Amino acid sequence: MRSRPRTLLVLGNLKLGDRHRRRLRTLVDRVVTGPAAPGAKEARRLLRSARYLFACNFPLNAFLEDLARLELVVVAETGS
């Protein structure tokens, strides 16, 4: 059985610069940036292909079952 690639998904308004992406790629196979605003179908598709999630100001309640399958979830609410 082949395991999923180590993909980090970034949802919400967290902007990663090139330097950050390079540093993260030493830890994961891919860094994927998803939508800034919740689009259920697209977000769910991306969540199913990821192993890790960084979410910033992104409502995740609708995706709890998908989040349970991830190895790491980091959530930030900045109030903006």
Domain count along the chain: 1
CB 28 within 8 A of CB 50: no
Q: Is residue 22 part of a domain?
A: yes
pTM of the entire predicted model: 0.87
* Residue 1 belongs to a domain: no
- Structural domain including 45 reads 7-76
State the Rg of the chain over Cα: 12
Residue 72 forms part of a structural domain? yes
36 band by pLDDT with thresholds 50, 70 and 90: confident
pLDDT, tens digit, 9 for 90 and up, residues 3-26: 667 999 999 988 889 999 999 999
Domain contains 21: yes
Q: Is residue 34 part of a domain?
A: yes
1 pLDDT exceeds 50? no
When the pLDDT of each residue in the chain is averaged and rounded to a whole number, the result is 89
Output 78 or 66, whichever has higher pLDDT.
Answer: 66
**50: in domain:** yes
CA atoms of 14 and 55, how far apart (whole Å): 7
Place of tokens 């399958």: 69
Q: Is residue 2 part of a domain?
A: no
